[in-house]
Amino acid sequence: MQVSNILSSLANAASLTKPNPATTPAASNPVVAAAPAAAGLSSSSAAAVRSVLSKYDMTDISPSDFSQMIQQLYQSGGISQQNLQELNAIRTDLESAGVGPEESVNLIDFYTQKIASVQSQSDLTGTPAEQQQITPLMQRLDWLQKFNAMKAQPDSANLSALA
């Protein structure tokens, strides 16, 4: 499954909630822009993705459970090898922050705070290096918000239209 497929359906579900300007990625998000919009999931793959996501909550998940979830999404055809590698960066970020493998964490808050911290540092130093760090963090937050939106409203998310 291509990112574009996941993201467009999730964008439809995510539009039901009020966006937070501090954490909403720009329309030119490379995750969205990089994936072809025409790719889709079979109905059995879409059902498998919904089934996997129904078991996990991005606001209360351990790093090991997150790793298990993305592996299941990959095995079900819900995400590509490249997506799997991108999502594995979340586990790396958690390990770098000292979050234990079985420690529960709110990934949405984790990335919201991480982005705010990098933005604050960038505002203080004025260096573009910090600003460049924000883009991948926002992409990760975007994935997590979309996963949460699909869990909250699995029937309203059109997986084949995700962009």
Question: Which CA distances in Å does 20 have to 15, 17, 25, 60, 142?
Answer: 11, 9, 9, 20, 12
- Residue 63 pLDDT exceeds 50: yes
pLDDT digits (tens, 9 = 90+) for 100-147: 999 999 999 999 999 999 888 877 666 666 668 899 999 999 999 999
Cα–Cα distance list, 163 to 27, 38, 55, 111, 147 (Å): 11, 9, 23, 21, 13
Contacts of 147 (CB under 8 A, 6+ apart): 10, 53, 56, 58
Instruction: Provide the domain limits for residue 122.
Output: 3-161
Total domains present in the chain? 1
